Amino acid sequence: MDKRAAIVLGVIFGGLFLALFGFLILAFSVAGGAGAGKLGAGNVGVVEVKGPITDAEDEVKALHDFLEEDRIKAVVVRVNSPGGAVGPSQEIHAEIRRLAEEKPVVVSMGDVAASGGYYLAVAADKIVANPGTLTGSIGVITQFPNVTAIAEKIGFQMNTVKSGAAKDIGNPFRPFTEADRKVFEGLVDDVYRQFVGAVVEGRKLPEEQVKAIADGRVLTGEQALQAGLIDQLGNFNDAVDLAAELAGIEGKPKLVYPEKEEPLSLHRLLRASVREGVRAVADELRLQLRSETSAAPRVEFRLPGT
């Protein structure tokens, strides 16, 4: 390579490096500026619970951050969920209770806030629902398939080695026994007792009154108001106004949503790369396991039919 060609290549690669370096500086400044000062722009925090409840990490973090931030005077939890897993529903419920001890918390129900969606709502100070919101569905359910007949037809057998009689309970490749049913009924009854207790405590209602409608039935917002399960009819804006009133906020309340992304950093980029790699491996393992075994049965706070 002659000297002229080397100079040309040096200029090209040098320019590319400077362009990349400038882009990174710009990205850092934009990302840092986008996240700066957001929390100071308002005084009513908004936490959204959308879709089936399978994980509580984001919601719990957002609730905790609003608890710690003095500039946030009240919080509205917007619920649009048919319910889901028991554990995450209870985690969000517990964090709302903790927040409600320090600041007013109002739940705003959207299209549906049933079962687990209602469970977490009863921890708030007030509940606002639309007249046609589907809510209630106070109850517990667990289901799992039985594919023994199909397995026999295709000549499939599942060999199981277990340490105890109930270790493979819910195994779809063997008959469901009366002993299995008693175990599941005990499990469901205990979680149901916890659900009813949460409603009794949160809504300040007699246990007999709650149990009278705690058979899994779904109620509209109007029916829930008559039953004492919510406090008033209204939309999201009505819930915001109520939260501001409870907190003594003067003037129009300003809303603050949790930050979705943290500022750009080398640590974040590396962490994201590692996370994606681990997730890919985990997804592949799940696919392999799913093809050989069934999913473990789960006890859920879930709207029937979802």
Active site residues: 115, 167
Amino acid at 218: V
Q: How far apart are CA 167 and CA 232, in angstroms?
A: 47
Quick one: DSSP state of residue 177? -
β-strand pairing of 218-219 with 134-136: antiparallel
Q: Is 232 exposed, middle or buried (0-12, 13-18, 19+ CB in 10 A)?
A: middle
Q: How far is CA 293 from the centre of its chain?
A: 27
Q: Is the dihedral of CA 287, 260, 52, 167 positive or negative?
A: positive
Quick one: DSSP state of residue 222? H
Phi/psi region, residue 97 (left: phi>0; alpha: psi -120 to 50; beta: rest), is alpha
Residues 121, 280: contact at Cβ < 8 Å? Answer: no
Q: How far apart are CA 303 and CA 115, in angstroms?
A: 6
Packing angle of the helix pair 57-68, 86-100 (nearest 10 deg): 10
Q: How far apart are CA 165 and CA 280, in angstroms?
A: 35
Q: How far is CA 46 from the centre of its chain?
A: 14
Q: How far apart are CA 150 and CA 157, in angstroms?
A: 10
Helix-, strand-, coil-residue percentages of the chain, each rounded to 5: 50, 15, 35
Please report the beta strands in 9-69, taking only residues with DSSP state E, as ranges in sequence order. 44-50
